[in-house]
Amino acid sequence: MRVRAPEQYPFMDDPIFREFFGDRGRPPQQPRQRRTGLGSGVIVSADGYILTNHHVVDGAEQIKIDMNDNRTFDARLVGSDPPSDLALLKVDATNLPVLSLGDSDRVRVGDVVLAIGNPLGIGQTVTMGIISAKGRQTGLSSGSFEDFLQTDAPINQGNSGGALVSTNSEVIGINSQILSPSGGSIGIGFAIPSNMARTVMDTLVRTGKVRRGQLGITVQKVTSEVAEKLKLGDQRGILVAQVQPGSAADRAGIRQGDIITAFNGTEVNEPNTFRNLVAATAPGTDVTLTIQRDGREQQVRAILGEFRQQVHQQDR
């Protein structure tokens, strides 16, 4: 993959400086840098579709897949989705071994799991642990569409994109992140749930990119203090803290201070869960929100807008 060289002499682009000094002092042209990296992936179809992390293939000029039976394939990038940190690759092969994607919603805290990957490039490795928590956020993913399964199965650099497997031999997660002060495993690893991975994969196969719905509101959890202040009967739902002018929510008449209790009939009590439900719905979809306003419950219909990821200047 390409590596961007840091700009060490930014004043050389100053026209006043160049008027006096010309090109003197300009450093010699540096050769374009390259680096190679290793990550893991999961074969999700016998005809060669492979799931991995976006950050594993981000910026890659060439992608090769090393199979456990010593075969190597050139892979093409079908599509990549930074907000979920998922990417889909394709190799020209048939009759590949496949593990099916399980239902991550049925995973329970305490379930035994296996993490499969290529830690630190030493070769395929299997580690064991349990599901430590569900619905985790780390704030490290681009766009933060996170709903991680947390596991204490040892995960290290190189495991990214590998499978988190249940004792029923189903892939229930794609290993993605660790939290560690040292960079090595301390038993706090995170995997993207298989249900999210399946949704992203199916969309990438059909269109090559993922489009997400957006309401245009900022929400927060209804804590006991918030419930008491607003004189709510019970502590449920999420509080609308801000409505973006001209957004789908604004057009639908949603107001600051509304309490959203359900999205298309699905009860919501966590801001992250709500955000992921909205994002998983296609832009332009007509949705129904159940809200509490002035002590009364009512239904509000809205047509979702489209989420636009902010692009940093250096990435344009």
- CB-based contacts of 294, cutoff 8 Å, min separation 6: none
Residue 276, Ramachandran bin (φ over 0: left; ψ between -120 and 50: alpha; else beta):
alpha
Chain Cα centroid distance, residue 153? 20
Q: Is 81 one of the catalytic residues?
A: no
% helix / strand / coil in the chain, to the nearest 5?
20, 35, 45
Backbone angles phi, psi at 189, to 5 degrees: -115, 160
- Contact status, residue 57 vs residue 77, Cβ threshold 8 Å: yes
List the catalytic residue out of 80, 81, 84, 85. 85
Q: Is 202 among the catalytic positions?
A: no
CB-count burial class (<10 Å; 0-12, 13-18, 19+) for 141: buried
Are 233 and 284 within 8 A, CB to CB? no
Vertex 199 angle, CA 193 and 205, to 5° = 130
> Is 54 in the active site?
no
- For the chain, the distance separating the N- and C-terminal CA atoms, rounded to the nearest angstrom, is 17
Among residues 40, 54, 55, 258, which one is catalytic? 55
Of the candidates 80, 84, 141, 160, the residue annotated as catalytic is: 160
Q: Using alpha carbons, select from 213, 237, 266, 223 the residue that is nearest to residue 105.
A: 266
Compute the distance between CA of residue 208 and CA of residue 254 in angstroms, rounded to an integer.
33
**Run of H or E including 286:** strand 286-293
Distance CA 237, CA 259 (A): 6
What are the CA-CA distances from residue 78 to residues 61, 72, 203, 208 (Å)?
A: 14, 18, 11, 6
At 38, which amino acid appears? L
The catalytic site residues sit at 55, 85, 160
